[in-house]
Structure 1
Amino acid sequence: MNDFIAIKDIKQVFEENLFPGITLWNRLEARPRADDFDSAIKAEIRDPLWMLTKQWQMGEFRGDDAGSPAFAKVQVATTSITKYQAGKNAVQNYDDEVPLEAKVEQKKLSFEQAGRKTAMDIRLLMGREWLKLTKQGFENLRQKYIELYSFEIPDPEDKTQATTVAHPEAWQLSLAIAGRSVDGYALYEYLKKNANNKASDNTPDAGNANLDKLGEKFIDWYERLFLQPEAEKNNAWIPPRMEYSFAVSAPAGSTEKIMAAEEYYHGHLDWYNLNIASQSRKLEINETENPTQEVQNRETLSFFPVPVSFDGMPDTRWWKFEDGNVNFGDIKPDTTDVNKLLFLEFGLIYANDWFVVPLTLPAGSIAEIKGLSVTNVFGEKLWIEAAGKGLDDDWKRWNMFALSQKGEQQEPADNSLLILPTVEKIQQGKPLEEVFFLRDEVANMVWAIEKKIPLPTGSTKQGAEAADELHDYYQKILDRSIISSSVQEFNPEYQAKIRYEIMNSVPENWIPFIPVHLSGNNREIQLQRASMPRILKNADPGQAEKVKPRTQLLREGLDQHPVEAYMLYEEEVPRAGLQVHQNFQRARWYNGKVINWFGSGKQTGRGQGHSGLAFDRIVDVKKTD
């Protein structure tokens, strides 16, 4: 053993090189000077457990003898949607001028109810636009248009105008705009009623071509502002089911691939809303329409497969740790959380086994992979088949983003990929109408409760509050008529503490749906809209008026001539109830084009309820002053 050497002058030691060294160090690891590199590349470690866990993390214990894909060729057949059918209406050519959601969900705006004007906000908006168009050159016609297309002052004694007079905000707005504003929708309705009607009609400038062109510009402005269904062929709403129903088709060889959505109500349209209608062969289009040119392509594309990557995935390189953006250790699944367990297994074990072959498809297309050839790093060529091939109803079959076959059993699975022409995000306005359907097992019926009711002004009011205001208005009209009448009623003083009541009442925003048998069927039933009598104090029960719904959702058939009954399928109202609403929706389409439409949606309700409706009761007499 060398004795300890104490150096007194380190400068002298370096200058005279008193202690020469054999090994020099210029970095942390040693620099080998031998020709044998076996020792240097052994990657020796002092913690075998760490190596074992790293090998388990990378899946090396599975013993797979496979090479990574290096090259791929794909043959894909594509076709595009060419036809569209709303409900059971006439088939029409499909165009992508608007998103598919807007085409399906669009509903006609209601500008009139029971013969009275509604949607005053939109009427005023249209009127202001028309006055703005005529401001340059035709400003002298302002008062004339106010007289031709005017708002009327409601008569507070006229019961037919009760829905306006009964509500203070509607009554105030009607007084404010009468004789001061133009009813723009009345002008639009006049211009659309007949092709010979012009904007200059009944004015001092009748026949003025420039004024008539402004009328055409006004029509174009309104139809671009609100998407409205053209006639009945674009109406996909099915009132008995409170859902949308539509179908689209694309050419497939000598036939067509028809995809149908019979129960769409979710508000977000995607591939899972449609099924393959295998029983149908072709959507027959009207001969008067020019059919869209059918386009079918088949091409072979070459790719370099790219490994799938995601935040927090285990790194497959030695001596490298993950960045920790995702901590799988914090995921604590229960024994029943199968989805979480599958996710963990994929992320920890099979993360580096997935590769992406990028393929860009246009919106509105249907693609089917006819063949996929993969060449790995060892030069082996492999033919890849679809994982979801086989019969559609095979319980062992698994596939993602595939449409189900509708119809008979033993149908071959469809492995095509549908890219619908829809938007990613839709802005939804507040509900203008909202109706809750609930089952009343005590009364053995279904109640449709109007939670939000549209006023003639275009704004929304709570249904219970609007019902009370309307009931009070009718009561005041009746009270005034009794006071003004010379007939004095005989009101004896009853000493009894109880009285007999034939029927009590429910709020006027509760609309009954009663079960009725279908014609010619003794077992199957449907729910038919009915009416409750309006019970007023001191009124003759034999002359009680029927309470009618005030939402467009429940007025189906009421504003038609003759009036039609509204039937609702009994199975559409589950025990949990149903909530249906209507609102405005807005989205941007190609080139930033803005689309506005008025549509409906539904969701599960809040359970059963009881209206308190009862018949043939003995009730206590309330003492009055």
Structure 2
Amino acid sequence: MKTMAEESAIFFPETALKYLPLYQPTIVTWNRLEGRTRAEDFDRAMKAEVRDALWMISRQWQMGEFIGDDAGSPVLAKVHMATTALNKYQAGGLPASPLEKDIPLEVKAEHQSIPFQQGELNISLDLRLLMGRQWLKWIAQIDPALKGDYITEYPIARPDPAQESDARICAHIQAWQQVAAVAGRRMDGYALYSYLKEDAARHAYDNIPGVTDDAQRTAIDGIAAKFIAWYERLYYQPHKKENPSWKPEYLEHQFACSAPKDGGEKVLAAEEYYHGHLDWYNFDIDQHRTSLDTDPGAPALENPEASITHTFIPTSVSFGGMPHPRWWTFENWKTDLGFVQPDTTDLNKLLLLEFILVYANDWFIVPFTLPVGTLADIKGLMVTNVFGENIWVQAAGSGSDEDWQRWSMYTLNVKGTEEVPADLSLVVLPAARKVLESKPVEEIFMLRDEIANMVWGVESQVPLVTGKSKPGKEAGYELRNKLQQLMDQTGEVVPEFTYQAKIRYQVTNSVPEQWIPMIPVHIEGNNREIQLQRAAMPRILEGDPNVPKKIEPRTSLLREGLEEGQPYFLHEEEVPRAGIKVNKSYQRTRWYNGKVYTWVGIRKQVGKGGGSSGLAFDQILPAKTQE
């Protein structure tokens, strides 16, 4: 607070004070005008006092607050709910099996086999060494001298850089160094595992000269059973070679679950699952299937249907950043709503802001705890307000399932286009809450080449023999250079012709090795529809007098059926103009019972558009001339 002398210095400058007898006192300049209280108590100054209450009422009338028809606040709610549980699972053409509750559903639907073999080449060296180290650790407890015998019986082969069969190893210097470092020194644990799994009559001590007595054989049999259980617990894989839910012709998973309902079954079908996270929107209700086919000799399952009636006290919905419903009360939340700057096309943010700022205090929550795997249907909800009125609440999504104006969330769609009542049941899937995902072990892009009028499968990430991955462009370039080096070392050189003309005719050129062609073929029995079939480009090496060999894909995603000599077909409509991106990676989650699951899953996403392979036919090029 300023003194009177200070105020005079502000309102009457020094130049004006010198000529007061000549000029009338006047305010020449100032730098601030402020109010000053006469008391030391600021309580009344901080109050928002209204002298005229009629003015407040008129403002409410102008803002339309008297038009609203507000009801009393709810004080009691009674809910009647019918529940059942998912108890069957079916994938592919196999009979339905009981749905285990101790495993996440996406693990059961997604898990793939870990590839250990590509043609004649052993891959996944990291897992082979891991399994071998575990076995040698356990076998040393019986007799440390047996470790050398198992390394000799199940060795890591040393690659030969002069052999074409080992070119895929020696072409990549890091992979070559790692394989050569462990060759003859470490054990191939997967070779022992596959030997035991192929025939139950086999033993882990077969062909091991150091095992001489029955006591050792008995101990080794116990370790072998423990070894198999350890590996199968470490990585969740299909019991058979492939997961029946995976459909390579669609690059999607297809499976179904069912729950008992009113003497029959309610079938939930997931026919286009590729997202990597399983949720309610992946399922549709298949009203044309009344049950899932099961084995006739399978034991009957318990009926989990139940009816529950609970009484609750509703509570207001609250969240961080929620405006306070009372006037002149500041919020103490940490959410800054002013920082949210949605665009005109960002509908989700606009709806969220409208809910927060306008309708936040109009919503109440009635908690109802359901176990995992439950399919619940609310049969009735009655709310009692503070005036003692009982109000029967109907679901907002009621009506025909084909009504395009019907709006609901977390409800399942009914397959088909028939006029059927909307299904308002809620499914609580036994899905993992959080999944850790590794870097892609394999990654491909399916894209359209409009210039060449073809579809290509471009291998963006390919697995190496070590278990790690490498960009497909680099891996293809290194492999081609290694094969060309081996060709140059053979000494077989095709003599070049001396062309008299200055131009030459070329039928076709080549493309990078990671580009796998998908050619269109007719669907059998149909003259109009087509599908895509995996083909191969020839590997043309300079000076090679032999017939060019086919370039094989290096990812298991594009090697589908190649080991068995079967063609691979892909539906043409699965590759849009934007293309698709498919990757395979390791995934890990922890279930509610504390058990950890690790598996290999596949995810499909939208691609990055089309591409150009550079493939061209019928070209006129400058001729090579010799002096």
Verify same fold: TM over 0.5: yes
| Deviation for aligned residue 1:622 | 5.6
| 1:506 aligned partner, one-letter code | V
User: Equivalent of 1:415, from 392, 404, 424?
Assistant: 424
Identify the residue that residue 362 of structure 1 maps to in structure 2.
Answer: 371
Distance 1:300 1:617, change over 3 A: same
- Residues 1:150 and 2:139 aligned together: no
Identify the residue that residue 18 of structure 1 maps to in structure 2.
Answer: none
Distance 1:348 1:479, change over 3 A: closer
User: Equivalent of 1:205, from 168, 187, 211?
Assistant: 211
User: Equivalent of 1:554, from 551, 558, 561?
Assistant: 558
Identify the residue that residue 530 of structure 1 maps to in structure 2.
Answer: 535
| 2:507 aligned partner, one-letter code | I
Per the normalisation by structure 1, the TM-score is: 0.87
SS in 2 for 1:369: strand
Cα separation, 2, equivalents of 1:212 and 1:336: 66
| Deviation for aligned residue 1:133 | 1.1
Alignment of structure 1 residues 3-42 onto 2, 5 Å: none
Distance 1:169 1:288, change over 3 A: farther
Identify the residue that residue 14 of structure 2 maps to in structure 1.
Answer: none
Identify the residue that residue 246 of structure 2 maps to in structure 1.
Answer: 237
What is the RMSD of the two structures over their aligned residues, measured on CA atoms? 2.7
User: Contact (CA 8 Å) 1:87, 1:247: kept in 2 or not?
Assistant: no
User: Equivalent of 1:379, from 388, 393, 401?
Assistant: 388
Alignment of structure 1 residues 102-501 onto 2, 5 Å: 102-203=107-208, 204-205=210-211, 207=214, 208-231=217-240, 234-323=243-332, 325-326=334-335, 328=337, 336-483=345-492, 490-501=495-506
Deviations 1:164-217 (A, max 9, x none): 232222322232222211110011111111222222223332642112111111
Distance 1:342 1:49, change over 3 A: farther
| Deviation for aligned residue 1:493 | 3.6
User: Contact (CA 8 Å) 1:86, 1:236: kept in 2 or not?
Assistant: yes
Deviations 1:205-250 (A, max 9, x none): 2642112111111111101110001116843111011111111111
User: Contact (CA 8 Å) 2:322, 2:333: kept in 1 or not?
Assistant: no
| Deviation for aligned residue 1:138 | 2.0
| Deviation for aligned residue 1:159 | 2.7
Cα separation, 1, equivalents of 2:86 and 2:443: 34
| Deviation for aligned residue 1:327 | 5.1
SS in 2 for 1:543: coil
SS in 1 for 2:128: helix
SS in 2 for 1:590: coil
User: Contact (CA 8 Å) 1:247, 1:259: kept in 2 or not?
Assistant: yes
SS in 1 for 2:521: strand
Identify the residue that residue 585 of structure 2 maps to in structure 1.
Answer: 583
Cα separation, 2, equivalents of 1:292 and 1:415: 25
Distance 1:230 1:291, change over 3 A: farther
Cα separation, 2, equivalents of 1:340 and 1:227: 40
Distance 1:349 1:139, change over 3 A: same
Cα separation, 1, equivalents of 2:61 and 2:124: 68
Per the normalisation by structure 2, the TM-score is: 0.87
User: Contact (CA 8 Å) 1:303, 1:357: kept in 2 or not?
Assistant: yes
Distance 1:549 1:339, change over 3 A: closer
Cα separation, 1, equivalents of 2:54 and 2:243: 68
User: Contact (CA 8 Å) 2:235, 2:599: kept in 1 or not?
Assistant: yes
User: Contact (CA 8 Å) 1:72, 1:372: kept in 2 or not?
Assistant: yes
Deviations 1:9-34 (A, max 9, x none): xxxxxxxxxxxxxxxx9x9999xxxx
Cα separation, 2, equivalents of 1:134 and 1:50: 92
| Deviation for aligned residue 1:335 | 5.4
Deviations 1:84-126 (A, max 9, x none): 1123333211002221111111001111111221111100000
Deviations 1:575-603 (A, max 9, x none): 01111111101111123221100111111
Identify the residue that residue 524 of structure 2 maps to in structure 1.
Answer: 519
Cα separation, 1, equivalents of 2:133 and 2:417: 57
Cα separation, 2, equivalents of 1:299 and 1:386: 18
| Deviation for aligned residue 1:466 | 1.2
Percent identity (aligned): 51
Identify the residue that residue 5 of structure 2 maps to in structure 1.
Answer: none
| 2:549 aligned partner, one-letter code | E
Distance 1:73 1:121, change over 3 A: same
Cα separation, 2, equivalents of 1:201 and 1:57: 94
SS in 2 for 1:61: coil
Q: Which runs of 5+ in 2 are unaligned?
A: 1-38
| Deviation for aligned residue 1:67 | 1.2
User: Contact (CA 8 Å) 1:89, 1:232: kept in 2 or not?
Assistant: no
| 1:554 aligned partner, one-letter code | L
Cα separation, 1, equivalents of 2:42 and 2:453: 87
Q: Which runs of 5+ in 1 are unaligned?
A: 1-24, 31-42
Deviations 1:502-551 (A, max 9, x none): 211111111000111111211000000001011111224x7111111110
User: Contact (CA 8 Å) 2:498, 2:624: kept in 1 or not?
Assistant: no
Cα separation, 2, equivalents of 1:131 and 1:56: 86
| Deviation for aligned residue 1:62 | 3.6
Distance 1:535 1:275, change over 3 A: same
| Deviation for aligned residue 1:431 | 0.6
Cα separation, 2, equivalents of 1:165 and 1:78: 61
Distance 1:492 1:270, change over 3 A: closer
SS in 2 for 1:287: coil
| Deviation for aligned residue 1:46 | 3.7
Distance 1:345 1:494, change over 3 A: closer
Distance 1:226 1:52, change over 3 A: farther
| Deviation for aligned residue 1:501 | 1.5
Deviations 1:395-420 (A, max 9, x none): 12111110100124102111011111
Cα separation, 1, equivalents of 2:178 and 2:58: 76
- Between stretches 58-67 and 156-165, larger displacement belongs to 58-67
SS in 2 for 1:392: coil
Deviations 1:459-480 (A, max 9, x none): 1111111112221222222222
Alignment of structure 1 residues 498-509 onto 2, 5 Å: 498-509=503-514
User: Equivalent of 1:595, from 594, 597, 608?
Assistant: 597
Distance 1:198 1:318, change over 3 A: same
Distance 1:329 1:450, change over 3 A: closer
User: Contact (CA 8 Å) 2:521, 2:533: kept in 1 or not?
Assistant: yes
Cα separation, 2, equivalents of 1:93 and 1:178: 45
Cα separation, 1, equivalents of 2:61 and 2:147: 83
